[in-house]
């Protein structure tokens, strides 16, 4: 696999490289090293191709969040892993679809687990097979923004398409959670995929594509606890 790491601390890049190559062969992992975001973006414009980006959040020339936003404009689905000493910044990372957070100083086992997860991601995301309009249809959970019940059907809303299937909403939640475990109810008739939640407000949630989903008063406390536990578990 091929990765790019961007950090303005040369010593940290050397430490990260040492950790990676203490576990993996140099023929298996290729690291492209950058000390500033603009140079990485220049190489990206010139054809740089990597399987994932490891970005320091706090950099002088261009911070990691800004850099990630620029990468996202060109590569909407590439995994981005943030490197940070402050995990409280993890929430902000979900606005640019963070794949993972690694806390500094990094732990070798966390780096190895992240790379193994990236391998699984690159091998293809798991999908759920549902019978829709008489045909077996594969839907990847990560593509689903939210689920919404409508009469006796459940509408499955993705960024590009909406599906309808005869099913109870809790059955749909359980079906998708068998693969992803990222779906949770925010209303008696609605469940969201926490992967896409970027902001929690008093009466609604904002998703990464700008959609706004209402959250009921009765679900608010439990959802907030579930979401923060999800964010914490993702920040390995």
Please report the pLDDT score of residue 90 as a whole number.
58
Distances (CA, A) of 195 to 85, 102, 198, 202, 221: 22, 17, 9, 19, 18
Residue of 114, 112, 52, 103 lying closest to 80 (CA atoms) = 52
Give the full edge-to-edge strand order of the sheet including 144-150.
162-166, 153-158, 144-150, 190-193, 183-187
Please report the pLDDT score of residue 118 as a whole number.
87
Distance separating alpha carbons of residues 161 and 86, to the nearest angstrom:
37
Entry pTM: 0.55
Residues in a beta bridge with 187: 190
Please report the pLDDT score of residue 94 as a whole number.
59
* The Cα angle at residue 184 between residues 68 and 227, in degrees rounded to 5: 50
Please report the pLDDT score of residue 92 as a whole number.
59
Q: Consecutive sets of 10 residues in the chain, 236 residues long: mean pLDDT of each? A: 94 95 90 96 93 92 91 87 76 69 90 88 72 86 92 91 93 90 93 93 92 95 92 65
Please report the pLDDT score of residue 236 as a whole number.
42
Distance separating alpha carbons of residues 102 and 114, to the nearest angstrom:
9
- Three-state secondary structure of the chain: CEEEEECCCHHHHHHHHHHHHHHCCCCCCEEEEECCHHHHHHHHHCCCCCCEEEEECCCCCCCHHHHHHHHHHHCCCCCEEEEECCHHHHHHHHHHCCCEEEECCCCHHHHHHHHHHHHHHHCCCCCEEEEECCEEEEECHHHEEEEEEECCEEEEEECCCEEEEECCHHHHHHHHHCCCCCEEEEECCEEEEHHHEEEECCCEEEECCCCEEECCHHHHHHHHHHHHHHHHHHCC
Q: Which tokens go with 118?
A: 């990236």
Q: Taking a C-beta distance cutoff of 8 angstroms, is the pair 38, 84 a contact?
A: no
């Amino acid at each position: 696999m091929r990765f790019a790491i961007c950090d303005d601390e040369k010593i940290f890049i050397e430490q990260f490289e040492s950790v990676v190559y203490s576990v993996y062969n140099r023929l298996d992992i290729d690291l492209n090293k950058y000390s500033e975001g603009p140079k990485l973006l220049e190489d990206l414009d010139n054809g740089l191709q990597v399987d994932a980006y490891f970005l320091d959040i706090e950099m002088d020339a261009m911070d990691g969040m800004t850099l990630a936003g620029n990468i996202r404009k060109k590569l909407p689905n590439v995994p981005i892993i943030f490197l940070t000493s402050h995990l409280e910044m993890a929430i902000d990372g979900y606005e640019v679809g963070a794949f993972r957070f690694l806390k500094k100083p990094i732990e070798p086992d966390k780096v190895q687990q992240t790379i193994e997860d990236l391998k699984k991601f690159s091998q293809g995301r798991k999908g759920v097979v549902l019978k829709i309009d008489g045909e077996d249809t594969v839907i990847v959970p990560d593509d689903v923004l939210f689920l919404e019940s409508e009469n006796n059907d459940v509408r499955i809303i993705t960024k590009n398409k909406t599906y309808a299937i005869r099913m109870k909403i809790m059955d749909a939640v359980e079906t998708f959670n068998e693969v992803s475990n990222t779906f949770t109810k925010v209303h008696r008739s609605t469940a969201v995929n926490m992967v896409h939640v970027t902001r929690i407000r008093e009466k609604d949630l904002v998703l990464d594509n700008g959609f706004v989903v209402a959250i009921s008063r009765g679900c608010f406390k439990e959802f907030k606890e579930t979401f923060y536990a999800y964010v914490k578990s993702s920040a390995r």
